[in-house]
Structure 1
Amino acid sequence: MKDVCIIGGSRYFGKRLIVLLRDAGIDVTVVNRGSSSPPPGITHLIADRDDEEGFERALADRAFDVVIDQVCYTPLQAAAAQRLFRDRTRRYVMTSTIEVYGPAGSDGIPPASPGTPVTEEAVDPKLWPVRTDLPWRDPRFLERHYGEGKRQAEAVLAQGAVFPFAAVRCAHVLGGGADDFTGRLDHYVQRILTGGEIVVHRESRPSTFIHEREIADFLFWAAGSDFVGAVNACSHGELDVTDICAQIAAHGTAQPIYRTVDSGGGEDAEVSPFSFEHYYGMDNTLAGRLGFTFSNTMDWFPGVVAEAVAVRGGAGR
């Protein structure tokens, strides 16, 4: 692997992945809309992936050993990627999501049972139906159907088979301090430290997680591997919202104040992040068999919390 193209993903764990590839002596090309620049030593192409002609002009005659697609959200984007990279790469890795296992938006996903982590076979991209007629370009529709968009994007790339394709189904990513890119962990830190209310499902379910450094390591490893198909990427061990809050509360005298809401009414926009009414435990056995060794969540989660508390506590004193 000498030449890698990364679509999007020049922030958060994507930036860490770029540095890992660059420091390994790999020529890295990043293609994004120009809102953020990659680190030094990286070829930067500016293009909007939804402008297929402009994207093709930006690529010119370049070809790559591997493409890592960090921002493929719809079957339309996946189909365009097939056309653009059909003769430009020998391997295509898509960063997918744990949300492909979420039952919201599809009758074809039965809710997983707590205590039985879901395996890759639960959603087979080679068999999943594709609906390109849906309004995928409508941001509101896409936001409501994020998991389905990812499922169908995987399906297009798997069923087209114009290049070897792997889908990395990434668990919920956590990082502390400056690495809390989404602000979801800080949501809890801020409320617990200030005595604010935390809204959770009455029966909140656990999920699997992964550290932002570990997912960067996993994508680096996946790019250099030769497996195809979907693979789950998560640390060992699960957390629910009370586990997260308990770790934060352990760093001070304040205790979380919960307000519970009933499940069953669909996704409640008021509910805090990481409070899930459906179980989101993933089985990472396949990745282990393929040769990647994951950490245990509690090996790194307390440190992430300590960083997040230090940032918020320092800012408030």
Structure 2
Amino acid sequence: MGSDKGGELGICVIGGNRYFGRRLISRLLRSGHRVTVVNRGSSRPPAGATHLMADRDDEDSLNAALASRTFDVVIDQVCYTPRQAEIARRVFGPRTRRYVMTSTVEVYEYEHSPLPVREEAVDPRSVPVDTTLPWDDPDFLDAHYGEGKRQAEAVFARDPAFSYVAVRVAHVLGGDDDFTGRVDHYARRIRSGEPVRVPVGNQPATYVYVEEIADFLAWTAVQDFTGPVNAHSHGPLTTSDICAAIETEVGGKAVFHEVEDGETSPFSFTRSYGMDNSRAERLGFAFRHTSDWLAQAIAEAVHATQDGKGER
């Protein structure tokens, strides 16, 4: 990791009270920062953080909860739409000097390049924004996850009310609290010998360990760079790589079934989701290689499911 450029800061985290968000909050607290967590009250943050309850979609509720508070940095873990970004700009514009949005590799869903994509492949300043789309419809939002993130970035990039960063996070692996169920999807099929459905010409993707992305976000909070930045470990992984690690944990053998159309398994892609993390490394963060953590990440996720700890 790079060095910490700041001392004690006042940091607001919106949402992010589970998985790598919870790890992020713990890291910020251990570093001595004053942490305020804003969520709807569904779960409490780690001890030591101030907890404010508000609906980030309700501008009046958010303003009332924050009152006269200001922050050095805001880290937004749950900004999925341009509407949410517009509210955040208005509410936090007078309240912070730096805004870190957790974005996603999915912003590159239309980039069909055999080479790892760099941040300039999607310039948020050139992305059209349409707040009239049905962003409040869960099915629409789920089907347009990458587009929602892309447009949210665009809102922050245009005539910014504060310095902003969009951390484009790779697919995350690991943790005994992995709520996605993606590793369990494979573990159950490998145990039973049920075929794993993958697309014809299945492509690799970039990944990041759950602990590493928490490290990166905590590091980003105290830096001064702006704009989009890719965040992932070195060493792209294929579905076969992930399944091989799962086989070691559960026994059995993955049986792959290629399909032309229809639903396929998670972590299988018709196009490469490879990112280039050289910008982050030039800025001072040293990412690990997937081979350093893959076995541990898979073991954590598999055992969490076996022990009933993982949320689905």
TM-score interval, smaller chain: over 0.9
Distance in 1 (alpha carbons) for counterparts of 2:304 and 2:87: 41
Partner secondary structure for residue 238 of structure 1: coil
> Shift in Å at residue 307 of structure 1?
2.9
Alpha carbons 1:94, 1:166 under 8 Å: kept: yes
Q: CA deviation at 1:181?
A: 2.4
Task: Note if contact 1:180-1:186 (Cα within 8 Å) is conserved in structure 2.
Answer: no
Could you tell me how far 1:197 is from its partner in structure 2? 2.4
| Superposition TM-score, scaled by structure 1 size | 0.91
Within the alignment, does 1:80 sit opposite 2:87 as a pair? yes
- Whether the 8 Å contact between 1:190 and 1:312 is mirrored in structure 2 is no
Q: Is 1:159–2:183 an aligned residue pair?
A: no
Q: Give the 5 Å matches for 1:121-270.
A: 121-176=120-175, 178-251=176-249, 253-262=251-260, 268=262, 270=263
Asked if 1 retains the 8 angstrom alpha-carbon contact of 2:208 and 2:290, the reply is yes
Contact 2:118-2:276 at 8 Å conserved across structures: yes
Amino acid at match of 1:28: V
The 3-state SS of whatever aligns with 1:210 is: strand
Q: 1:174-217: CA deviations, max 9, x gaps?
A: 114x2322121121112212222211112111000000100000
The within-5 A match list for 1:27-176 is: 27-103=34-110, 110-113=111-114, 116-176=115-175
Between the aligned partners of 1:146 and 1:121, the Cα distance in structure 2 is: 20
User: Equivalents in 2 of 1:154, 1:70: separation in Å?
Assistant: 13
- Residue 69 of structure 1 and its aligned partner are, at CA, apart by 0.2
Deviation string, structure 1 residues 133-153 (Cα, Å, up to 9, x no partner): 212122111111110000000
Query: What is residue 23 of structure 1 aligned with on the other side?
Result: 30
- With over 3 angstroms needed to count, the CA separation of the structure-2 counterparts of 1:157 and 1:191, relative to structure 1, is same
Are 2:302 and 1:297 equivalent residues in the alignment? no
Contact 1:96 1:169 in 2 (8 A): yes
Matched, 1:5 2:26: no
Q: Secondary structure at the match of 2:161?
A: coil
- For the Cα contact (< 8 Å) 1:173–1:209, is it kept in 2? yes
Percent of residue pairs bearing the same amino acid type: 57
> Residues 253 and 15 from structure 1, CA distance in 2 versus in 1: closer, same or farther, beyond 3 angstroms?
closer
Alpha-carbon shift at residue 275 of structure 1 (Å)? 0.7
CA contact (8 A) 2:97 2:162 kept: yes
Q: Deviation per CA, 1:201-254, whole angstroms, max 9, x where unpaired?
A: 121110000001000000001100000000000000011111111222234541
Change (3 A) 1:92 1:139: same
Which residue identity lines up with residue 97 of structure 1 in the other structure? T
After TM superposition, the structure 1 stretch with the greater mean CA deviation from structure 2, 132-141 or 233-242, is 132-141
Partners in 2 of 1:309 and 1:127 — Cα distance? 42
The CA RMSD over aligned residues, in Å, is 1.4
Q: 1:249 to 1:150 in 2, by over 3 A?
A: same
The alpha-carbon deviation at position 304 of structure 1 amounts to: 1.5
Structure 1 residue 277 and structure 2 residue 270: aligned?
A: yes
Deviates more, 1:137-146 or 1:209-218: 137-146
Structure 2 residues without counterparts, runs of 5 or longer: 1-7
Distance 1:179 1:311 in 2: 7
